[in-house]
């Protein structure tokens, strides 16, 4: 069969890393040639069996798509971010760029769009046995920009959610700072999807928030985890000791750690962890 050539404004080392992803064996002979800073790679299948031809073409098509998505697309994303996100800070723009590019590379996103582009690449190299990526991209840029803009909008949304979350965390931290401490130490027992609070003498701390029942209208859309955090803010202890098994309620533990900072310490096993007395359950 004929050789297949891939050319364009390519960085040799970057492309070689991608080539090794598909052609690390000896069945394919690979040559490279430089001309005025541009590289051309020539691929020849050593085994002449026709049954392997289509697999070879598909591997080349996948390689070309990876070159486009991992190398060529970067400056285009940067350009789109600068146009779409003019009001954002430089740091936010960098975050949006990194997130958008990561989304595009994620195999679980834009499956249909990527498959369609891959088929176009495959058909092109089957027909021509040669592809100059710059030219191929120029004639199909709109299709890529459509996907890029969706990815950028997704990244902007995620950034805004993260900012709102951080503002909320800052507000909770402020409430903690201005509250008058009501306990020197509070033990937070997190076990079997339930939470309860004990003072240093193993007495149950009751402030009403954790003692709701599901019938109460006010609490209908509030989780018990939310109420636990609210309870801790209300009683504002100087120290919080978390009694929780590793890997359990990770999101809740993370929130408590963020809100209360260095006030939080973790128990690595004690008699309190085994105490069975609980506040009234509200699940």
Q: Report whether pLDDT(279) > 60.
A: no
- pLDDT for position 50: 55
Reported as a pLDDT band with limits 50, 70 and 90, residue 71 is: very high
Residue 188 is inside which H or E element, if any? strand 185-191
Q: What is the pTM of this model?
A: 0.75
Q: Report whether pLDDT(234) > 50.
A: yes
Q: What is the dihedral of CA 260, 261, 262, 268, to 10 degrees?
A: 80
Q: Which two tokens stand for residue 126?
A: 């089957």
Q: Model confidence over 238-273: pLDDT tens digits?
A: 999 999 888 888 889 999 999 999 999 998 878 777
Q: Report whether pLDDT(1) > 80.
A: no
CATH 3.30.420 domain range(s) in the chain: 185-274
Cα angle value 120/121/125 (rounded, 5°): 120
User: By percentage, how much of the chain surpasses pLDDT 90?
Assistant: 49
Q: Report whether pLDDT(32) > 70.
A: yes
Q: Across the chain, what does the average pLDDT equal?
A: 85
Rounded to an integer, the average pLDDT of 102-129 is: 93
DSSP assignment letter at 65: H
- pLDDT for position 268: 80
CA dihedral sign, ordered 259, 263, 265, 271: negative
Task: Report the topology of domain 185-274.
Answer: Nucleotidyltransferase; domain 5 (3.30.420)
Q: Report whether pLDDT(101) > 60.
A: yes
Upper half-sphere CA count for residue 3 (Cβ side, 13 Å): 13
Q: Model confidence over 167-192: pLDDT tens digits?
A: 999 999 999 999 888 899 999 998 87
Which position has the higher pLDDT, 25 or 111? 111
- pLDDT for position 103: 95
Q: Which two tokens stand for residue 30?
A: 């690979």
CA 236 to chain centre: 33
Residue 266 is inside which H or E element, if any? strand 264-266
DSSP assignment letter at 199: -
Residues 6+ apart with CB under 8 A from 19: 30, 41, 63
Rounded to an integer, the average pLDDT of 77-90 is: 95
CA dihedral sign, ordered 79, 85, 87, 88: negative
Give CA–CA dist 70/178, Å, rounded: 49
- pLDDT for position 280: 34
Reported as a pLDDT band with limits 50, 70 and 90, residue 200 is: confident
Among 2-6, 59-63, 109-113, 183-187, the range scoring the smallest mean pLDDT is: 2-6
CA dihedral sign, ordered 158, 159, 162, 167: negative
- pLDDT for position 213: 45
Helix (H, G, I), strand (E, B) or coil at 216: coil
Q: Report whether pLDDT(42) > 60.
A: yes
């Amino acid at each position: 069969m004929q050789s297949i050539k891939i050319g364009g404004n390519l960085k040799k080392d970057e492309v070689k890393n991608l080539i090794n992803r598909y052609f690390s064996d000896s069945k394919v002979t690979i040559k490279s040639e430089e001309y005025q800073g541009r590289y051309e790679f020539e691929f020849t299948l050593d085994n002449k069996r026709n049954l392997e031809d289509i697999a070879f073409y598909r591997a080349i098509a996948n390689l070309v798509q990876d070159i486009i998505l991992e190398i060529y697309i970067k400056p285009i994303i940067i350009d789109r971010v600068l146009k779409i996100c003019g009001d954002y800070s430089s740091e936010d723009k960098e975050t949006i760029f990194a997130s958008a590019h990561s989304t595009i590379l994620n195999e679980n996103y834009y499956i249909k769009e990527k498959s369609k582009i891959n088929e176009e690449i495959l058909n092109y190299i089957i027909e021509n046995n040669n592809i100059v990526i710059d030219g191929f991209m120029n004639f199909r840029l709109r299709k890529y920009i459509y996907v890029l803009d969706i990815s950028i909008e997704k990244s902007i949304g995620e950034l805004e959610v993260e900012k709102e979350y951080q503002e909320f965390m800052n507000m909770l931290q402020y409430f903690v700072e201005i509250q008058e401490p009501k306990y020197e130490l509070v033990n937070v027992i997190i076990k079997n999807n339930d939470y309860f609070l004990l003072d240093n003498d193993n007495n149950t701390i009751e402030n009403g928030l954790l003692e709701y029942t599901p019938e109460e209208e006010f609490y209908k859309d509030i989780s018990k985890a939310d109420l636990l955090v609210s309870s801790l803010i209300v009683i504002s202890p100087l120290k919080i000791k978390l009694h929780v098994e590793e890997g359990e309620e990770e999101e809740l533990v993370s929130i408590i750690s963020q809100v209360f900072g260095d006030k939080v310490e973790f128990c690595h096993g004690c008699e309190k962890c085994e105490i069975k007395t609980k506040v009234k359950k509200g699940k």
